[in-house]
């Protein structure tokens, strides 16, 4: 049976509904998204149902996290399909603010986040996590959920948001969700829709090489040598460039020191596939 979500676009409407639910004793889960939804997002909605009695999804393509030259203008905007997908996953409310409502002309506040947000992605997208932290803080303040759910595909983003809510004393529990993959192991991403068949075939080699590298590291191969080999394997497979193949502690994201794995080591990869930047990660 279809479960049509309530759609709200203004903060007043949003707060009215949240207050009504709170008055009725409901608990609230928030899944922030930029739309262009896929099954990975829907798995976050389904996970939210396990924690909260009402689930809110937000759809907002956040200009603050795109650098000049990135794909802000071209980012897919597919609102009708997104709302239908959210209905199929039994989402209760979809919050779709416009840019002016999030950042009016007087907007003057920024967030500078360091620690887990340094290195890896930040070496290649220096202002990305500051923009993510800002919009996530605003969405958490607006929705005031009990739980908020983020996918582990954006592993450093998840770690950054965990830090953000600790540092700003935000009363919300962060839930990390396992990476959703297609039948070939490709991590689901809104940007996968940029691919034609040839690019998709190449993109699917990312996870194969990454898991192979993690298995070699886990079996005792020197970490630096395994990472260097994976980097070469990516280039030989046809990826145009590799931003990083890195091993870091899963919690602090500090790079592995002395090539020694610990129980929480995580392998993280970012590379370019036919003009699209892809990231992925796995346990070792
Ligand atoms: O992961 C995303 O889709 C975005 O970075 C997020 C968390 C919705 C913030 O805009």
Range name among 33-37, 139-143, 259-263 with the lowest pLDDT average = 259-263
Confidence of residue 262 (pLDDT cuts 50, 70, 90): confident
Percent of the chain with pLDDT over 90: 94
The rounded Å distance from CA 13 to ligand 1 centre is 22
Residue range 56-75, pLDDT digits in tens: 999 999 999 999 999 999 99
Single pTM value for the model: 0.97
Ligand 1 within 6 A of 62 CB?
yes
Please state the rounded mean pLDDT for residues 129-158. Answer: 98
Ligand 1 within 6 A of 154 CB?
yes
Ligand 1 within 6 A of 140 CB?
no
Rounded to the nearest integer, the mean pLDDT of the chain is 96
Q: How many helices (H) and strands (E) does the chain have?
A: 9, 9
Q: Are 121 and 109 contacting, i.e. CB atoms less than 8 angstroms apart? A: no
Residue range 226-249, pLDDT digits in tens: 999 999 999 999 999 999 999 999
Show the domains of the chain with their CATH numbers.
6-177 (3.40.50.620), 190-283 (3.30.1300.10)
Query: Among candidates 97, 94, 62, 99, which has minimal Cα distance to 80?
Result: 94
Mutate to test the pocket of ligand 1, among 31, 32, 63, 82 (most ligand atoms within 8 A of CB): 32
Confidence of residue 17 (pLDDT cuts 50, 70, 90): very high
Ligand 1 within 6 A of 132 CB?
yes
Please give the pLDDT value at position 1.
65
Query: Among candidates 158, 148, 184, which has minimal Cα distance to 281?
Result: 158
Confidence of residue 111 (pLDDT cuts 50, 70, 90): very high
Percent of the chain with pLDDT over 70: 99
Q: Does residue 179 have a pLDDT over 80?
A: yes
Q: Are 277 and 240 contacting, i.e. CB atoms less than 8 angstroms apart? A: no
The rounded Å distance from CA 175 to ligand 1 centre is 14
Q: How far is CA 89 from the centre of its chain?
A: 19
Q: Is 107 a catalytic residue?
A: no
The rounded Å distance from CA 243 to ligand 1 centre is 21
| Nearest residue (CA) to ligand 1, atom 6 | 33
Strand ranges, E, within the chain = 6-8, 28-33, 54-59, 93-95, 147-151, 173-177, 241-249, 265-273, 276-283
The rounded Å distance from CA 236 to ligand 1 centre is 32
Instruction: From the candidates 41, 49, 100, 251, give the one annotated as an active-site residue.
Output: 41
Please state the rounded mean pLDDT for residues 204-214. Answer: 98
Give the contacts of 261 (CB within 8 A, at least 6 positions apart): 217, 218, 223, 247, 284
269 SS3 class: strand
| Nearest residue (CA) to ligand 1, atom 1 | 33
């Amino acid at each position: 049976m279809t479960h049509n979500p309530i759609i709200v676009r203004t903060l007043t409407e949003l707060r009215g509904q949240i207050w009504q639910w709170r008055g009725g004793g409901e608990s609230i889960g928030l899944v922030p998204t930029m739309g262009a939804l896929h099954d990975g997002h829907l798995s976050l909605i389904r996970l939210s149902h396990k924690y909260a009695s009402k689930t809110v999804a937000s759809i907002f393509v956040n200009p603050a996290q795109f650098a000049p030259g990135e794909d802000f203008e071209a980012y897919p905007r597919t609102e009708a399909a997104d709302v239908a997908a959210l209905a199929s996953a039994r989402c209760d409310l979809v919050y779709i603010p416009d840019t002016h409502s999030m950042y009016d002309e007087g907007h003057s506040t920024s967030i500078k986040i360091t620690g887990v947000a340094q290195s890896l992605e930040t070496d290649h997208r220096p202002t990305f996590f500051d923009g993510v932290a800002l919009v996530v803080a605003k969405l958490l303040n607006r929705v005031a959920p009990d739980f908020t759910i983020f996918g582990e595909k954006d592993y450093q983003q998840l770690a950054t948001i965990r830090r953000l809510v600790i540092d700003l004393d935000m009363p919300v529990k962060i839930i990390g969700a396992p990476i959703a993959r297609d039948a070939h192991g490709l991590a689901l991403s809104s940007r996968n829709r940029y691919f034609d068949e040839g690019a998709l075939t190449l993109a699917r080699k990312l996870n194969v090489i990454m898991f192979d590298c993690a298995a070699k590291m886990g079996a005792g191969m020197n970490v630096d040598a395994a990472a260097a080999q994976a980097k070469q394997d990516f280039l030989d497979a046809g990826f145009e460039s590799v931003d990083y193949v890195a091993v870091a502690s899963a919690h602090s994201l500090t790079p592995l020191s002395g090539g020694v794995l610990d129980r929480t080591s995580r392998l993280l990869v970012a590379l370019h596939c036919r003009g699209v930047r892809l990231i992925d990660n796995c346990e070792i």
